[in-house]
Structure 1
Amino acid sequence: MTDPARPRTLAATVGLLALTAVWGSTFVLIKDVVGRMRVVDFLAVRFAIAALAMLVLFARPVWRLERRQLGRALLLGVVYGVGQLLQTWGLKLIAPSVSGFATGMYVVFTPILAWLLLRERIAGVVWLAVALATGGLALLSLHGVSIDLGVWLTLASAALYALHILGLGRWSREADAVGMSAVQVAAIAVICLLATLPQGPSLPPDGPAWIAVLYMALVAGAGAMLVQTWVQAHLPPARVAIVMTTEPVFAAGFAVALGVDALSWRMLAGGALVLGAMYLVELAPKRGTALEAEGIHHEVP
């Protein structure tokens, strides 16, 4: 018997993959821009532009949000914004590859927090996928690591990203996706702008930097939050976290395509493990009972 929700679930997965591809395409751009402006300035300008665009285009959906949904969107935006700052501060202290691995640990934190905080049952196949994805991230990112302050800050950001994924999974509704995404981006912008005080943010130094910031703001910022908020109305948090670990796979692919990095066995093996994890939780055939065990259907309190 065909699951009537399956086409919408598949569309959500495709949308999430497109989103991670966009995020993967930004690594080279960010590396160039933050070499010429402060990271906090970059984040503040990026999210301020994204928030302005979304509030102008989607003022009506924001206005229609119930007070409870508005408060939830603000809280999720604050959580994500603080996560961005912690990740950025951590990145100053550790290598980008180590930062990528530590950030990707939200794939581990998400099901653990779902179990601890929400008492959700996590299917065994999801835990297996978490292990595969973690191994893939390690192969893609790590070449030796020591635990220092930068790693702890980045792990804290990963925990906050996991909370954000859980919150969206719990509270996102398709009808509210546009309004909630706009409010979240506005809250992120406020958090990042506060981090630039007392002098405030500096603007991008030249035309190429402006182009990169606009792409990050409108496509990888506003557009990405809109897609993620809609997607999480249809997919469970643990599955979202695992699919999102394809981001470093796309990042490696873009780096090879643009001649920044050379193709290596670690890229191939790590990418294969991450894709295998995604196959386990999303593309492999499943019975309805397995879907229920993963917590696809959950009520908004």
Structure 2
Amino acid sequence: MPLLLLSLLVVVWGTTFPIEKIMLETISPFSLNLFRFLIADAVMLIIFFPSIRRDFLSVWKAGMLLGISMGAGFVFQTWGLVYTTPAKSGFITSMYVVFASILSFIFEKTRVNTHTIIALIIATFGIYMTELSGRVFEMNFGDFLTFLCAIAFAFQVLLMTIFTKKYEGKEITLTFYQFLVITVVNLPFYAFSNHNDMWNLSDLIFILYMAIIASVVGIIIQAKYQKRIGTVPSSFIYAGEPVMATVFSVLILKSTFSQTEIIGFVMITFAAIWVQIFNLSNSRKKL
């Protein structure tokens, strides 16, 4: 069940890429981030107020750390896009899959086996071919900011496993803290940036979808089920996000992709499946 739910979560997150591209034609990035998580805050307070009130003070440190890591990821990614290309941003951001595995090895003392190392190498090359299509990578200031974004998201994945194990049953409040911090972090960027937003009906529908389905439902699923699989195996599932983003870009935006990019998608998918099969076989041996 955790494997299925996290895989479905990746599908949902994949849909947000073409949706955001459509929305950014009429509203600014910081407006999108602010209102997405402001709505998520409101929805969680309405539905889960008793749980949030009960656990608010007991998990505030963990919730703040999760929120800071996730909020920093969104800010650095948005800021970096000002100075770099979407392709390079996608490549560097997706590297959080690799960074999360390294952080898990350092902080959780996770044993890294040969299968995982090979899969990481395959996934890295797959992400590179997918996002940069074999072009030479040259780092600029925007790339550096996006690199910080990838590290922040990697810490969010790591801390999600650690804190949801420690605070079993308090995943709702931990999720609320993340959205609350992201909202607060985005407020000054929204206030001091130029934005001539022209909201329409489709934008409102999209923002509700991203706030309620991709954010509230999505992060609650991550909080409840990622810990059952572990940081490293979950990271490989999340590596499928750019693949799903590509699929929905083709379906929604009628995008086309080169043979090199398609090979990259196959490599990412293969690496993710390989790690899951290896973990399942290990679990059965232990039984």
TM-score normalised according to structure 1 size: 0.86
Deviations 1:180-222 (A, max 9, x none): 2122212221112232235898765222221111111111121
Deviations 1:149-199 (A, max 9, x none): 111111110001111111011111451222221222122211122322358
Do 2:6 and 2:225's aligned partners in 1 also have CA atoms closer than 8 Å?
Answer: yes
Give the match's secondary structure for 1:25. helix
Deviations 1:126-153 (A, max 9, x none): 2222111111111211132321011111
Deviations 1:47-66 (A, max 9, x none): 10011101211112212327
Matched, 1:195 2:218: no
> Which of 55, 60, 73 does residue 65 from structure 1 map onto?
55
Aligned pairs (5 A) from 1:89-104:
89-104=79-94
Deviations 1:214-254 (A, max 9, x none): 11111112121111111222121111111101011111111
> Which of 241, 246, 250 does residue 252 from structure 1 map onto?
246
C-alpha displacement at 1:18, in angstroms?
Answer: 1.0
Q: Tell me the residue number matched to 2:274.
A: 280
> Residues of 2 paired with 1:82 and 1:206: CA distance?
29
Q: How many residues get paired?
A: 282
> Which of 81, 86, 106 does residue 76 from structure 2 map onto?
86
For residues 48 and 202 of structure 1, do their structure 2 counterparts lie closer, same or farther at Cα, with a shift above 3 Å needed?
Answer: farther
C-alpha displacement at 1:125, in angstroms?
Answer: 1.7
CA RMSD of aligned residues (A): 2.3
> Residues of 2 paired with 1:267 and 1:50: CA distance?
34
Q: Please say which of residues 233-242 and 149-158 is displaced more in the overlay.
A: 233-242
Gap regions ≥5 residues in structure 2: none
Higher share in helix: 2
Percent identity between matched residues is 26
Q: Tell me the residue number matched to 1:221.
A: 215
One-letter amino acid of the counterpart of residue 220, structure 1: A
> Which of 52, 64, 68 does residue 42 from structure 2 map onto?
52
Q: Tell me the residue number matched to 2:120.
A: 130
> Residues of 2 paired with 1:56 and 1:201: CA distance?
29
> Residues of 1 paired with 2:66 and 2:41: CA distance?
15
Deviations 1:52-90 (A, max 9, x none): 101211112212327442320122012101110100111
> Residues of 1 paired with 2:24 and 2:176: CA distance?
25
Q: Tell me the residue number matched to 2:152.
A: 160
Give the match's secondary structure for 2:227. coil
> Residues of 2 paired with 1:238 and 1:125: CA distance?
12
C-alpha displacement at 1:262, in angstroms?
Answer: 2.2
Q: Please say which of residues 113-122 and 206-215 is displaced more in the overlay.
A: 113-122
TM-score normalised according to structure 2 size: 0.90
> Residues of 1 paired with 2:41 and 2:285: CA distance?
39
For residues 87 and 188 of structure 1, do their structure 2 counterparts lie closer, same or farther at Cα, with a shift above 3 Å needed?
Answer: same
